[in-house]
Structure 1
Amino acid sequence: MERPTRYWVRALLILLLLTEQSALGFSLFAPTLPKVAAEFQTTQVVWVMTAFTLSGAVASPIIGKLADLYGKKKMLVVTAAIGALGALISATAPIFPVLVAGRFLSGAGFACLALGYTLIRDTFPARLQPISISIANTGVGAVGVGALLVAGVLIDHLGVRSVFWFAFGFCAIGALLTFFFVPETPIRSHARIDWLGAVLLAASMFVIMVGLSRGKEWGLTDGRTITCVAVALVGFAVWVWWERRTDEPLIRLDLIAKPALRYTLIGGGIAYGATTLLASLTPMLLQAPESTSYGFGLSATEMAGWLLPGQLMIVASGFIVGATAKRIGFHNHLVFGAVFIATAAAVLSAVPTVPAVIVLAWVVFGLGCMIYAAVPNLALLALPETERAVGSNFVGVAQTLAGTLISTVGFTVLAHYVVATDGHGVAYESAGFRSAFLVAAGAAAIGALVSLAIPRNERAVASHTH
């Protein structure tokens, strides 16, 4: 007997609590960066974001394979529980490295979105699958709007640690409700976990980020910096060798041989990295004290209000892509989106002290976020149906790793302009923010140029699909 529609509506609402974890990991915590830097007296605050994205990129394919082996609902609950533990550790962290460790655990939540999609596909009635997946996908953008406001209110009234407590409750409640009220899929498949590939990739990324983030403190020519870079390069080389050798790799590197996917991967990944950096820098700029000559001294809630028009445009950009796909094509969405992002970053670098300009630039940035919808569609078009799931996972991992690296580079540049570290936070020269915004602008521009190399036949397919 088929379950009533209200049962599936309840299941979908519960799943939405967990599928939004990746979006919450950015939007909820970007406003915390200035307060975290002040409380822990650190210039390495970028690790609040990069620890989350790095672990998410590496853990997602592993969790996906474990879900094939043991059940998607089961792994969704386990993943949410790990996220809750990470948030609890961060909320109670006595020192900054412990907070970062908690964020690293919370990165497991990246896998929740893909697990939620596949659970809907495996268990929901066919008539409800399209609308359920669309609601879940739209929610990823919509949650960013609410998350900024929620974070602002929490920070201003209860302190920065309340954001981590909120994340803990969100994950814990989601895990419990999923356990009791969401059905499990009976579908199982054999999968071998590439543990060595995961360790090699995570270790290599971690080491190179340490080298980059400590570059100012150690010096770019210091033996420790050079050693980190050298070890990371060797690690990447060994990882590539292993991934090409093993039967079930963490990431199918042979897919890069397809030009359409290769240029989508590189162009989209670099442009995505620019959005990650901008989303971290802008809240810091707006919340910086007015005494810094570049800051606006906004509270976290006021900052969220300033960015609200742009956040709404991010949501709208997804609908714009869907509505114009046949006429414009996903390739052009990617190119134009990257150009919009580069323009917004360049404007923020050139005129970072005029309120109206910042709000307008953030709206342009939001429009540029059409790349979020364009890149997955381009990846699907570039691959045969039998390889689409693997290819989409590859693109997701690449985007996340690119965001991690570009954010680290941007914050490394910013760290060269520190002028004071005290109980009120970390103060920078205005040139630091200008330079960091230029890193984002350059990355997005490079992403647009690379995207132009997507083969013409793929552009034609994109223009006549959807």
Structure 2
Amino acid sequence: MTTTTTQGEVHAGSGWRANLEIIAIGLGALMAALAQTLVLPVLPTISRDIGASTTEAQWLLTSTLLVGAAAVPVIGRLADMYGRRLMLIVALGALLVGSVIDALTDDIRVMILGRAITGLSSAAIPLGISLLSAVLPEARKGSAVALVSAMLGVGGALGLPLAGIVAEHFDYHALYWIGAVGALASIALVLAVVGNPRGERPGAIDVPGIVLLVGGLVCLVLPLSQGSSWGWGSFATIGLLVASVVLLALLVVVEKRSPDPLVDMRALSNPPVAITNVASIFVGFALFASFVGTANYVQAPEATGYGFGSSVLVAGLCLMPSGILMLLLAPVAARLMAAWGPGKVLFAGGLIIAAGLVVRIVLTDSLWQIILGSTIVGAGTGIAYASLPSLINVHTPAADLAAANGINTLARSLGSTLASAVGGSLLAAITVTVGGAALPSLGGYQVLFTICAVAATLAALAGLVVSSPKLATHDREGVLEPV
């Protein structure tokens, strides 16, 4: 049985019920985050077992990225219109359906379809953040929102070692069953214990806005994910990037004139919101490059002069401490936000990420040094990620929270996609020859980590800017207080 609550209403039995709501939504967010990374280490295995080409196997990732990028802001707006709990169940249902499809097939085309459906679950994290902001008691919001926000990073840090274990001991289809079972459990918990807040935003579905946004994002994400294969100077890559600029520019024009815009350009251009979203791109960039850099770095042959020749499992385990620390630091970050404000917490998180990346640049001799640097990056990411939704919530009307958090999650994902493109091209360009094969060199990784450290520092500076009194929260109806 579920209850219907108004914005910010504290329901009876809030202590135990709040705990159950956090568990239900947190589990859904974790499963959605895991779905993004679980297949990454087993792509070669899938390609070999079902006879798919490397390009076809890569579409298992690309299809999820494309659908996720397009779906997150659209589902966020639908959630503000029709209910956040309903759309969270839809997102988790997509994870369940997509995972079951993939678990039952060996056909690469069907598997790509399943992964595309799974991409809809990317909306679970911003929906969870906005839903918790609506149903939890005021005292619980800060730590709960921080925890769910951190799941985007935790999923990557824990997904790689989990995939490594499965790759060594089980058939890769087990990964899809894990996603299906986790999604089903989360749906059941959400239906059973999560309140259904009233006060959704009325309005019509903005079809032109959806078409332009989806088209623009697809034209942006597709060349970023495939550019290294197509060639960055190819007609397809350049043509799609130009098309994305045109479509997104048209989106701005159309949305400013729409009575019920999919994306509220006035709210999106609000300086604190805009700066926070840019900072989110930088943090997502730094984190993803650190993940990929650590996993590939550790698995590189010792003959490269820096690698350890480790297995997929060992490479994943090197990232596990960072994922655990992200979880543990979520409530700490909430307390820091209460004392300092979310902008200064973002500043601290960005500097910690940069410090961890400096460790990665300087210390290269031992595996423990790699783990240390990765763990410091994870600690900073956990703190920074905790601050981002709070900054969005403080400067966004309550009726627009789901859409605003969806855009912010999209910004983080775009940062990760950009990191994959930049990192892949950079490591392919700066190489060392080992056994007749060109492999990324130590210098290539150091350049990548330097770029990531700069990105993290820029995110930290953005935190200082948004904490400036000149960008204080506007006193307008419906804007939440800091949590």
Q: For 1:110-154, what per-residue CA distance to the aligned partner results, in whole angstroms no more than 9, with x for missing partners?
A: 2234444565677x6x76x85588457536657647555533322
Residue 423 of structure 2 corresponds to 410
> Which of 372, 391, 410 does residue 360 from structure 1 map onto?
372
> Which of 30, 45, 53 does residue 20 from structure 1 map onto?
30
Residue 6 of structure 2 corresponds to none
CA distance in 2, matches of 1:305, 1:132: 31
Per the TM alignment, residue 157 of structure 1 is displaced from its structure 2 partner at its CA by 0.7
Per the TM alignment, residue 279 of structure 1 is displaced from its structure 2 partner at its CA by 2.4
Residue 212 of structure 2 corresponds to 200
Residues 1:301 and 2:313 aligned together: yes
Secondary structure at the counterpart of residue 54 of structure 2: coil
2:388 maps to a residue whose letter is V
Contact 1:19–1:136 (CA under 8 A) maintained in structure 2? no
Residue 261 of structure 1 corresponds to 273
Residues 1:270 and 2:279 aligned together: no
Residue 375 of structure 1 corresponds to 388
Residue 428 of structure 1 corresponds to 439
Distance 1:281 1:91, change over 3 A: farther
Alignment of 1:342-353 (within 5 A): 342-349=354-361, 351-352=363-364
Distance 1:456 1:237, change over 3 A: same
Residue 423 of structure 1 corresponds to none
Alignment of 1:22-421 (within 5 A): 22-26=32-36, 28-29=38-39, 31-32=41-42, 42=54, 51-67=63-79, 70-91=82-103, 99-116=111-128, 131=140, 134=143, 138=147, 141=150, 144=155, 147-175=159-187, 178=190, 181-182=192-193, 185=196, 187=198, 190-290=202-302, 293-349=305-361, 351-352=363-364, 354-369=366-381, 370-383=383-396, 390-416=403-429
Task: Give unpaired runs (5+ residues) of structure 1.
Answer: 421-425
Per the TM alignment, residue 71 of structure 1 is displaced from its structure 2 partner at its CA by 4.9
Q: TM-score, normalised by structure 1?
A: 0.79
Contact 1:215–1:225 (CA under 8 A) maintained in structure 2? yes
Per the TM alignment, residue 60 of structure 1 is displaced from its structure 2 partner at its CA by 2.8
CA distance in 1, matches of 2:290, 2:56: 17
CA distance in 2, matches of 1:465, 1:173: 31
Size of the alignment, in residue pairs?
458
Q: For 1:52-103, what per-residue CA distance to the aligned partner results, in whole angstroms no more than 9, with x for missing partners?
A: 3443343233334444555555433332221122224444665767655433
2:419 maps to a residue whose letter is I
CA distance in 2, matches of 1:456, 1:211: 37
Distance 1:41 1:387, change over 3 A: closer
2:346 maps to a residue whose letter is L
CA distance in 1, matches of 2:222, 2:74: 24
Deviates more, 1:440-449 or 1:6-15: 6-15
1:23 maps to a residue whose letter is A
Distance 1:224 1:161, change over 3 A: same
CA distance in 2, matches of 1:223, 1:362: 37
CA distance in 2, matches of 1:96, 1:427: 29
Distance 1:306 1:276, change over 3 A: closer
Percentage of pairs with the same residue: 27
CA distance in 1, matches of 2:89, 2:25: 10
Q: For 1:299-349, what per-residue CA distance to the aligned partner results, in whole angstroms no more than 9, with x for missing partners?
A: 343334322332232223323322333554422322232233233334434
CA distance in 1, matches of 2:146, 2:411: 20
CA distance in 1, matches of 2:140, 2:249: 43
CA distance in 1, matches of 2:400, 2:160: 36
Contact 1:278–1:437 (CA under 8 A) maintained in structure 2? yes
